Structure 1
């Protein structure tokens, strides 16, 4: 028994480092350094059940969804779709428009190769994909290889490897999961961002979106699901957000409004305040 406990204790850090989930499904700052709840307009399915909004960033109450091994038999989403119960006024559903750049946030959970705080550049990142489900489908698909899933965007993978130039590990922004500029300040709870574009040929209406991350080929995928109303134009999307009290400000990029020298911000340009602009 003592040996089992010891082995379990050794294994726990590896487990803690191997998971993540999407926190915000419409964030106002691309490539940002620090999480700011005021910049989040929308939340994933069932966020209210698991204190995604109200707990500290990077923590949750049972939100993690990990698929089984291929071929998957478990559901893509932690909870079945029910738009009337899985979103609230405090954790609302997203609204997008065709051609919009959408920013998502996720916690790092120790999984970034950054030589400023890790002596390991071989932190693997294997696959980061955004799917949508054909809106004609009334049910969530079961499996990540389902024909009902349509690839919206391949988010790329972060650079890693035993022989990689260390400078690459501290150069941001990055593609893939490890786009976490302030990782070394809080390896577990620091914020990472992705961005993807809503296809111009997507049919307007309500869609289910699925994020899939494979950390390593030896680890089964992690997923997060959310719904979003997709509008044909920004004006239509803006009218919807205004009717629900949301800001209509566009996403800005952290590196476009700040000059960074040696990891410090110099000459910042304040973006439009997302709280007062809407």
Structure 2
């Protein structure tokens, strides 16, 4: 192997491992171990075009949207807003209610610090949620139309931190992927959660996720729309009318007894999602 080929062999996997995106915009299971598309009630823009629902989780790299070169002037979203074409019967728009905790799954694509199976130096710098003021896409990441509604924290990393900090789940931030070591190098499920502000006006809104992997890497973003209702009853009526579950979100670690990374609950503790 020549020097160029050797360099590419080392560098290209690292570049590929840097991508991520929001796969689902209303997922039923917080802090879950494995992706299950049946638990998804709402999808981001262009989910059908990029086969986010039926494709292999974490393999739609072309959907990842990084604000390369000049993030202050690049388009904020991978695709432009068009509510009539960017959502389908199989990948419908999400609906929320004021005060709802919303779960967002995303692939880690190898980017997790977990001392059991990789180095502890995978960085996690910023994880923010925004809602857009208005009906049009903001020009860029510096737009004053972006209203921050939550800082979802950062994951622990660094050679000098205890191993236990990297192997204890749930985690804040991007690296909340309890089964990461089973899915090296790429397709582990991770989840965020954020809360719909109580003072958000009911109606249709655009939401934007922003992740910064390192201080020298430009942000990744995902965009989607959702109808926001005043109450859960109103949201549930909308989901029933569109053939979707009205089950409450649950937390994997609250409904299961986990010992040494294994579920030790007796049989019969299944969640019904229909």
> What's the TM-score bracket when you normalise by the shorter of the two chains?
over 0.9
1-side partners of 2:257 and 2:99: how far apart?
27
Partner of 2:163: 166
Question: What's the CA shift for 1:92?
Answer: 0.4
Question: What's the CA shift for 1:62?
Answer: 2.1
Partner of 2:247: 249
Point out the more displaced range, 225-234 or 13-22: 13-22
2-side partners of 1:271 and 1:220: how far apart?
41
Q: How many residues align?
A: 272
Report SS of the residue matched to 1:104: strand
Question: What's the CA shift for 1:49?
Answer: 0.5
CA contact (8 A) 1:51 1:61 kept: no
Report SS of the residue matched to 1:102: strand
1-side partners of 2:71 and 2:64: how far apart?
20
Q: 1:160 to 1:61 in 2, by over 3 A?
A: closer
Question: Does residue 138 of structure 1 match 2:135?
Answer: yes
Report SS of the residue matched to 2:131: strand
Q: 1:30 to 1:71 in 2, by over 3 A?
A: closer
Question: Does residue 63 of structure 1 match 2:60?
Answer: no
2-side partners of 1:170 and 1:101: how far apart?
25
Segments of 5+ residues of structure 1 without an aligned counterpart are none
Partner of 1:102: 102
Question: What's the CA shift for 1:270?
Answer: 2.8
1-side partners of 2:61 and 2:11: how far apart?
21
2-side partners of 1:271 and 1:248: how far apart?
17
Q: CA RMSD in A?
A: 1.5
Question: What's the CA shift for 1:61?
Answer: 6.1
1-side partners of 2:161 and 2:232: how far apart?
42
TM-score normalised by the chain length of structure 1: 0.94
Question: Does residue 260 of structure 1 match 2:258?
Answer: yes
2-side partners of 1:180 and 1:149: how far apart?
28
Post-superposition Cα deviations, 1:221-268, rounded to whole Å, max 9, x if no partner, equal 001100000000000000000000000000000000000111110115
Partner of 2:24: 24
Report SS of the residue matched to 2:87: coil
Partner of 1:89: 89
Question: What's the CA shift for 1:71?
Answer: 4.9
Partner of 2:173: 176
Point out the more displaced range, 54-63 or 255-264: 54-63
1-side partners of 2:178 and 2:187: how far apart?
12
Question: Does residue 123 of structure 1 match 2:103?
Answer: no
Question: What's the CA shift for 1:14?
Answer: 1.4
2-side partners of 1:77 and 1:148: how far apart?
14
CA contact (8 A) 1:50 1:61 kept: no
2-side partners of 1:12 and 1:167: how far apart?
30
Report SS of the residue matched to 1:48: coil
